Amino acid sequence: MAKFFLVLATIADLSLAALLVAVSGFMFGGGPESMHAGALAAASYVAAVIACLIAPVVGFIFNSRGKTGLGVTAAWIPVAGALAALLVPAPY
């Protein structure tokens, strides 16, 4: 059962990483529709993408070492963070 949740978390994390990469042009691009975000926003954005890619690996490592609960939790952290970010109201 834990492997199922880890695979599901992997699919969700990779989908989230793909979404972040797909919309990055709207935040950091040079076009008129871009937000022209700064360097700190770009660094945190890259950290979020890396976290989405690393979290499932860490989850599977913890699972193989017998720490199943910790592994499943680690794999779902980026998705939980994205859902928490949706609760932040827009600044306008």
pLDDT in tens, 47-75: 999 999 999 999 999 999 999 999 999 99
Q: Residue 48: its pLDDT value, please?
A: 94
The pLDDT of residue 91 is above 80: no
Closest CA to 9 of 61, 87, 73: 73
pLDDT cut 70: percent of the chain above it: 100
Q: Which residue has the tokens 């042009």?
A: 25
* Residue in the structure block whose two tokens are 């926003």: 41
Residues in the chain: 92
d(CA 88, CA 29): 23
CB neighbours (10 Å) of residue 63?
Answer: 20
What is residue 80's predicted lDDT score, i.e. its pLDDT? Answer: 97
The pair of three-digit structure tokens given for residue 38, joined into one six-digit string: 């700064």
